[in-house]
């Protein structure tokens, strides 16, 4: 296990567990936590021994979004360029999560506000503790939903719900988020980590290349027409068919035994 100031990481049996670790600030993002998280996701891109990420938070929150202490207008006359901070910090992380061709499981252990909520929604399989709530806190401080929020909320929920969540900044409880299809499942608080870990462990034993191609296809489906998509499915299936894991999957089926996938 590697302990640094702001993100705790451990790699076990192919699962890279990342814990946002600024509990006294409800795991709000400062620059150090941004960079630490990004380094770990980049590592997952490069390191074939990482086959799944499990993202969670330390303490009673998942993540409260931007650390507003670092944006205190009383400390400077100059107004911050938030477009620059999105370009520098939030958007690269969002793209890394979406572009990573490995599953990212998220265990939302408590409140997820602002960019914290939208980073969770960018993950592939999201579990949330039943007591957790999601808040598009931006409008409370005069901002717009960032970290992909205005995109993902609208796509998943449609305009009426996306607008109400964003404009009113009211908390959305985990169970409602599940009912609305924003997350995979709300689970009992004390079962959250065990449940999410079991799923991450299972995915880490899966055919990693095929799972990554599946993620790529599903993400592309919302933005391209059927013809283009069928061509993409053909190309991805061709690539999947060339993997050792596919050969192993079919062999295991024919031999009536469980497949042993190596992510190759």
Residues that bind ligand T3D (CB under 6 A): 25-26, 28, 64-69, 71, 82, 85, 111, 113-115, 135, 137-138, 140-141, 143, 146
Q: Given the complex with ligand T3D, which of 61 and 125 has the nearer CB atom?
A: 61
**Nearest distance, CB of residue 177 and ligand T3D, angstroms:** 15
Q: Given the complex with ligand T3D, which of 163 and 216 has the nearer CB atom?
A: 163
**Nearest distance, CB of residue 99 and ligand T3D, angstroms:** 21
Q: Given the complex with ligand T3D, which of 92 and 229 has the nearer CB atom?
A: 92
**Nearest distance, CB of residue 172 and ligand T3D, angstroms:** 12
Q: Given the complex with ligand T3D, which of 57 and 212 has the nearer CB atom?
A: 57
Look-up: residue for tokens 């993002």?
29
**Nearest distance, CB of residue 116 and ligand T3D, angstroms:** 6
Structure tokens that stand for 56 in this block: 């969670």
Q: Given the complex with ligand T3D, which of 174 and 240 has the nearer CB atom?
A: 174
Q: Given the complex with ligand T3D, which of 85 and 197 has the nearer CB atom?
A: 85
**Nearest distance, CB of residue 113 and ligand T3D, angstroms:** 4
Please say whether the beta carbons of 100 and 38 come within 8 A: no
**Nearest distance, CB of residue 27 and ligand T3D, angstroms:** 9
The answer to whether the Cα torsion of 255, 259, 260, 261 is positive or negative is positive
Q: Given the complex with ligand T3D, which of 139 and 195 has the nearer CB atom?
A: 139
Q: Given the complex with ligand T3D, which of 38 and 216 has the nearer CB atom?
A: 38
Query: Which residue minimizes CB distance to ligand T3D?
Result: 65
**Nearest distance, CB of residue 151 and ligand T3D, angstroms:** 15
**Nearest distance, CB of residue 90 and ligand T3D, angstroms:** 6
DSSP for the chain, please give it.
Answer: -EE-SSEEEEEETTEEEEEE--GGGTT-B-HHHHHHHHHHHHHHHH-TT--EEEEEESTTEEE-SB-GGGG-GGG-SSPP-HHHHIIIIIHHHHHHHHH-SS-EEEEE-SEEETHHHHHHHHSSEEEEETT-EEE-GGGGGT---TTTHHHHHHHHH-HHHHHHHHHH---EEHHHHHHTTSSSEEE-GGGHHHHHHHHHHHHHTS-HHHHHHHHHHHHHHTTS-HHHHHHHHHHHHHHHHTSHHHHHHHHHHHTTS-------
Residue 25 sits at the vertex; the CA angle it makes with 21 and 116, to the nearest 5 degrees, is: 75
CB atoms within 10 A of CB 219: 12
């Amino acid at each position: 296990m590697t302990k640094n100031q702001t993100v705790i990481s451990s790699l076990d049996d192919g699962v890279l567990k990342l814990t946002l670790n600024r509990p006294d600030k409800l795991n709000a993002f400062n620059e150090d936590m941004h960079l630490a998280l990004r380094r770990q996701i980049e590592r997952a891109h490069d390191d074939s021994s990482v086959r799944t990420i499990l993202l969670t938070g330390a303490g009673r929150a998942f993540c409260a979004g931007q650390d507003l202490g670092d944006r205190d207008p009383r400390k400077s006359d100059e107004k911050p360029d938030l477009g620059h901070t999105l370009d520098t910090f939030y958007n690269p992380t969002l793209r890394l999560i979406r572009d990573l061709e490995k599953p990212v499981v998220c265990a939302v252990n408590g409140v997820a506000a602002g960019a914290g909520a939208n980073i969770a929604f960018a993950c592939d399989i999201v579990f949330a503790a039943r007591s957790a709530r999601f808040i598009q806190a931006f409008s409370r401080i005069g901002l717009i939903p960032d970290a992909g929020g205005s995109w993902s909320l609208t796509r998943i929920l449609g305009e009426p719900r996306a607008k109400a969540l964003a404009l009113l900044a009211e908390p959305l409880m985990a169970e409602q988020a599940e009912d609305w299809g924003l997350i995979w499942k709300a689970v009992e608080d004390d079962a959250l980590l065990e449940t999410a870990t079991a799923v991450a462990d299972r995915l880490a034993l899966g055919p990693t290349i095929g799972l990554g191609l599946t993620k790529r296809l599903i993400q592309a489906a919302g933005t391209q027409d059927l013809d283009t998509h069928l061509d993409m499915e053909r190309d991805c299936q061709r690539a999947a068919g060339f993997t050792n894991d596919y050969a192993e999957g079919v062999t295991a089926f024919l031999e009536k035994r469980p497949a042993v996938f190596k992510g190759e």
